[in-house]
Every structure is written in structure tokens, then in C-alpha cells.
Amino acid sequence: MSNNRLRIAIQKSGRLADESIQLLKTCGIKFTFSKQTLIAHSDNFDIDMLRVRDDDIPGLVMDGVVDLGIVGENVLVETQLTRQKLSSPAEYQKIKVLNFGECRLSIATPSEQEYTGIESLNNARIATSYPYLLKQYMNSKGLTVQDCELKGSVEVAPRAGLADAICDLVSTGATLAANGLVEQDVIFHSKACLIQSATITDEYKLNLIEKILSRIDGVMQANE
Ligand code: PRP
Ligand code: ZN
Ligand code: MG
């Protein structure tokens, strides 16, 4: 299975998907994904692109299954905290913060509910896909939180009577507004970033990564 081709994991669908592909193409890497394929082989570089769920990207890099990944810092840090708790490999190198995928992880409460500050949510049940980031934030304020972990539909949890508040990603704020929620505390700022496996020793791959990185720098400078 092992060969010299560099493997890059990108998000299959979602906020980062299109811009991740765009960035790699603008760097001059030629490849095409057909509709349902997981992997695309570049014609002009020894590079394979893998399309997976964003949540899987940090782990694939930390386990050395792929060499590089483009992922949001939110998913990255949550995975790192989860893995540290489980004593699983959690090493990686963040080699570039990219200029897209900007969002924030925020606590939001129902608009009809009075909010007097984060202390008022002490020991509350807060729905989130980011339990470790949330717990870290609450603990840093000397507060505790009750778990309500949801991989999706987080924004409907308060109305459904599952939780008192939510902690979710906010980009435009449209999702919160549509669900009668008000953003209260920003707990984490996030952007897309390029991460590298901490275990690559192959000189050929390391050179290829250098080359990609300098092209990304060029693309980002041109876009400034
Ligand atoms: C996030 C979040 C909301 C949405 C907020 O999901 O869960 O659904 O974006 O964006 P808005 O403020 O512009 O309305 P995202 O698609 O980033 O990630 P996910 O599908 O992996 O949860
Ligand atoms: Zn996701
Ligand atoms: Mg979502």
C-alpha cells in the first residue's frame, strides 16, 4: 500500500470543500473528481486527493494515513482534545493558516430566554458537536456543563426541549436567526488550515510538500 505518492485529505462536501479544491488547482495540481469517487490521482504531480468527512481529516493526519489535510481549526482542536483524553496519537504540524473557512464557535441561547452572562449557564445542558472545546471554555471560567452531544441539528435542540443552549459554529448567523437563537459568547475563532503528519520521513514527499507550500504562499499573496 505504501508508495511515494503524497496523500492530501480534503472535505467531501461542506463549507471548505469547494475552496479546498480551488486552492490545490490554483497551485497547479491537476486532478478531477468524478461524482462518487473518494480518490483522485493528479496527472502532473505524485499526489492523490482524498475526499472525506471533515471530522475524519485530523485523525487521518494524526494516524499518518494521509500526509496532508485541509480542515477547520475547530474540528482540528476538538479532535486533538478528544484523542489526548483517549491517549491516541494526536500529533500534527499546522503548516499554514489559510484565507478561507472563517467562522466562530459560539454559545447561543433562545431569544425568549433571559441571558445575564455565561455564569447563568453554569451546569446547564448545552447541545454541541464540540464537547471538549465547550468543556474547556466552561472550566476556564470556573463553570461546569452537562453533555448533550449532537453531530447535527444542534440548532433545534433547545426548541425540542433537549438542551438549554447550544454551542455551534456561526458564519453568517443565518442558522441561529432561523432558529430563534441569539449568539452570546464566542469561545473559539477558526479558519481553514493545512496540516501535515508528524511522521513523514520520506525526502521526496517532504520536498513535494515544500513545493506545494511555496505555491500556496504565492496564491495567497496574489489574493491579498
Ligand atoms: C455550521 C453550523 C451551522 C452553520 C452555520 O455547519 O453547524 O449549521 O454552519 O452557518 P451560518 O451562520 O452561516 O448559518 P458546517 O456546515 O460548517 O459544518 P458541519 O456540517 O460539519 O456541522
Ligand atoms: Zn462536519
Ligand atoms: Mg452544520
The domain that holds 59 is classified in CATH as 3.40.190.10
Q: 136 and 73, same structural domain? A: no
Helix H segments across the chain? 17-26, 57-62, 73-86, 131-140, 174-178, 203-222
Tell me the per-residue pLDDT of 44-86, one tens digit each, with 9 for 90 and over.
999 999 999 999 999 999 999 999 999 999 999 999 999 999 9
* Rounded distance from Cα 178 to ligand 2 centre (Å): 20
Ligand 2 ion: nearby residues, β-carbon < 5 Å: 54-55
3 pLDDT more than 80: no
| Cβ < 6 A, ligand 1 pocket | 14-15, 54, 168-175
* Rounded distance from Cα 111 to ligand 2 centre (Å): 26
pLDDT band at 188, cuts 50/70/90? very high
31 touches 165 (CB < 8 A): no
Instruction: Name the DSSP letter for residue 33.
Output: -
Mean pLDDT throughout 18-32? 96
8 touches 67 (CB < 8 A): yes
pLDDT band at 2, cuts 50/70/90? low
What integer pLDDT is reported at residue 193 of this predicted model? 98
If one residue of 10, 15, 102, 107 were mutated to test the ligand 1 pocket, choosing by the most ligand atoms within 8 A of its CB, it would be: 15
Q: 109 and 90, same structural domain? A: no
User: Which residue range is the domain that position 48 belongs to?
Assistant: 6-101+191-222
What integer pLDDT is reported at residue 38 of this predicted model? 93
Q: Using CA atoms, how far apart are residues 112 and 101, in angstroms rounded to an integer?
A: 31
* Rounded distance from Cα 69 to ligand 3 centre (Å): 20
